[in-house]
Amino acid sequence: MNNLNEKQKMLSGELYDAGDSTLVEERQRCKDLCFEYNHLLPSKIEERKSIIKNLFGKAADRFLIEQPFYCDYGYNIEIGENFYTNHNVIILDCAKVTFGGNVFIAPNCGFYTAGHPLDTEQRNRGLEDAKPITVGNNVWIGGGCTILPGVTIGDNTVIGAGSLVVKDIPANVLAFGNPCKVIREI
């Protein structure tokens, strides 16, 4: 018998009920903070940093996240030093999303840890699962990229614009495409 609550199931990668009242409440808190963040004047850098540090599980001192920015829980996101995202980045952090130092993300990128069952009965009951995403150090992700659940991107890698990353990408490569694949070493 599984005695885990829905949040524990979510964090352990098991199927969980996304409509669980605790999870709904935590997402609502996060959405309120994202709303507050996205409606601050862009020049209010310190206030913006304060919200992100309150929202994220871990945030280094030097980072800039352009508005608008959206996430589901916030506490599952960790960012390293000198982290930058351009406008309109979405991180669905039902599982841990970890970014190393010197990561640069172009506009309109999505990092999606959530997955939904192929079984229609389970999916219609609101069940989903989540797998972590890990991005190494010194990574550049081009505009319009989508990073799917369970993906790891190695250090010093460049992901070209418009890529759909469905599997791990090693360190020290240029990769792009749909699906994303290694083009060459760098």
Per-residue pLDDT of the chain (186 residues; tens, 9 = 90+): 568 999 999 999 999 999 999 999 999 999 999 999 999 999 999 999 999 999 999 999 999 999 999 999 999 999 999 999 999 999 999 999 999 999 999 999 999 999 999 999 999 999 999 999 999 999 999 999 999 999 999 999 999 999 999 999 999 999 999 999 999 999
CATH number at residue 152: 2.160.10.10
Check: CB of residue 91 under 8 Å from CB of residue 108.
no
Respond yes or no: is residue 116 known to be catalytic: yes
Residue 166 in domain: yes
Buried b (16+ CB within 10 A) or exposed e, 53-84: eebbeebbeebebebebbbbbbbbbbbbebbb
Check: CB of residue 51 under 8 Å from CB of residue 36.
yes
CA distance 162 to 122: 31
Residue 159 in domain: yes
Coil vs helix vs strand at 90: strand
For residue 56, the model assigns a pLDDT of 98
For residue 157, the model assigns a pLDDT of 98
Residue 49 in domain: yes
Among residues 53, 58, 116, 123, which one is catalytic?
116
Residues 6+ away with beta carbon under 8 Å from 46: none
Q: Is the pTM of this model over 0.85?
A: yes
- Helix and strand counts by DSSP (H, E) for the chain: 4, 20
Q: Which domain holds residue 21?
A: 6-185
CA distance 17 to 14: 10
* Structural domains counted in the chain: 1
Residue 93 in domain: yes
Residue 1 in domain: no
Distances (CA, A) of 161 to 18, 109, 145, 156, 174: 31, 9, 6, 16, 11
